């Protein structure tokens, strides 16, 4: 699996993501600065976590309008896989690649802790090789993770099995509607999620639960 991580001023989980992708794919990971207008060839493009542009205006709003974004939209239209984690998820909604919006946490607090996630759908490459219904732990670290979508959009997401991950066991850290932690687009090649699977990759992290997601993409691509 060839992968590329797109970098923005204020990204801060980019190295975690690159390291995770390198370890799991066994291949070097390309990086792309946001001012570029073309993407390198890759199977998976990742928007990493962080605080691009200091969260000015709205989280992810400025990054979502950067020069590289038209190329990312084209890649998504062509069926390439796109993953946005945390700030990357916020960018994907701001860019219109995923529906809904990520609002300020209901508690108003920045949350940095482990939550439990349920894999609620295995409809996409990101989850097709994961176990449906499995509950696993995953770290979150965000201030604006409170997913919101209007009733019609929610019905679509739920009806089409596009809620990939839900906060489980009462661990919803942000007030997100329907406990939504991650969603995919209609085609299933774009996933946005608030939790950080790239931070549970090796034993030194205290667990390897995050590997399954990346391995699922790899296995789907190989199939």
Partner 1 sequence: MKARVTVTLKNGVLDPQGKAIEGSLGSLGFEGVEGIRQGKVFDLELADRSEAQAKADIEAMCEQLLANTVIENYSIELL
The question of whether 198 is a catalytic residue gets the answer yes
Please identify which residue in 33, 37, 57, 186 interacts with partner 1, judged by CB under 8 A. Answer: 57
Q: What is the DSSP letter of 96?
A: T
Q: Which stretch binds partner 1 (CB under 8 A): 41-49, 91-99, 155-163, 184-192?
A: 91-99
Surface-to-core class of residue 200, CB atoms within 10 Å of its CB (0-12 exposed, 13-18 middle, 19+ buried): buried
Q: Does 150 bind partner 1 (CB under 8 A)?
A: yes
Question: CA-CA distances (angstroms) from residue 28 to 43, 59, 172, 212?
Answer: 13, 29, 35, 19
Strand partners of residue 135: 118
Angle at alpha carbon of residue 114, lines to 191 and 213, rounded to 5°? 30
Judged by beta carbon, residue 4 or residue 64, the one nearer partner 1 is: 64
Q: What is the total count of residues that contact partner 1 (CB under 8 A)?
A: 20
Q: Does 152 bind partner 1 (CB under 8 A)?
A: no
Q: Does 15 bind partner 1 (CB under 8 A)?
A: no
Strand partners of residue 5: 31, 46
Q: Does 25 bind partner 1 (CB under 8 A)?
A: no
Q: Are strands 163-168 and 180-184 parallel, antiparallel or unpaired?
A: antiparallel
Q: Does 21 bind partner 1 (CB under 8 A)?
A: no
End-to-end CA distance of the chain: 12
Given the residues 34, 86, 94, 118, select the one marked as catalytic.
Answer: 86
The question of whether 129 is a catalytic residue gets the answer no
Given the residues 34, 118, 196, 209, select the one marked as catalytic.
Answer: 196
The question of whether 112 is a catalytic residue gets the answer no
Q: Does 104 bind partner 1 (CB under 8 A)?
A: yes
CA separation for the pair 138, 56 (Å, rounded): 27
Q: Which stretch binds partner 1 (CB under 8 A): 70-78, 141-149, 194-202, 211-219?
A: 141-149
User: Which stretches of the chain bind partner 1, using CB under 8 A?
Assistant: 57-58, 61, 65, 93-94, 99-101, 103-108, 146, 148-150, 175
């Amino acid at each position: 699996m060839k992968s590329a991580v797109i970098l923005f001023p204020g990204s801060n989980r980019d190295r975690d993501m690159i390291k995770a992708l390198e370890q799991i794919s066994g291949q070097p990971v390309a990086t792309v600065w946001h001012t570029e207008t073309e993407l390198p060839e890759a199977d998976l493009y990742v928007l990493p976590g962080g605080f691009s542009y200091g969260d000015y205006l709205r989280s992810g709003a400025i990054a979502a309008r950067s020069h590289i974004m038209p190329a990312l939209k084209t890649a998504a239209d062509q069926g390439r896989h796109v993953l946005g984690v945390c700030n990357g998820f916020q960018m994907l909604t701001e860019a219109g690649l995923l529906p809904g919006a990520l609002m300020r946490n209901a508690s108003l607090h920045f949350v940095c802790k482990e939550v439990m996630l349920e894999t609620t759908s295995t409809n996409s490459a990101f989850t097709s090789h994961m176990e449906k219904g499995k509950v696993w732990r995953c770290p979150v670290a965000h201030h604006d993770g409170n997913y919101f979508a209007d009733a019609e959009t929610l019905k679509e997401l739920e009806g089409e099995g596009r809620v990939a991950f839900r906060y489980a066991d009462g661990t919803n850290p942000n007030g997100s509607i329907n406990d939504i932690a991650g969603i995919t687009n209609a085609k299933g090649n774009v996933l946005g999620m608030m939790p950080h699977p790239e931070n549970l990759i090796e034993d030194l992290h205290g667990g390897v639960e995050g590997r399954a997601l990346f391995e699922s993409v790899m296995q789907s691509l190989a199939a």
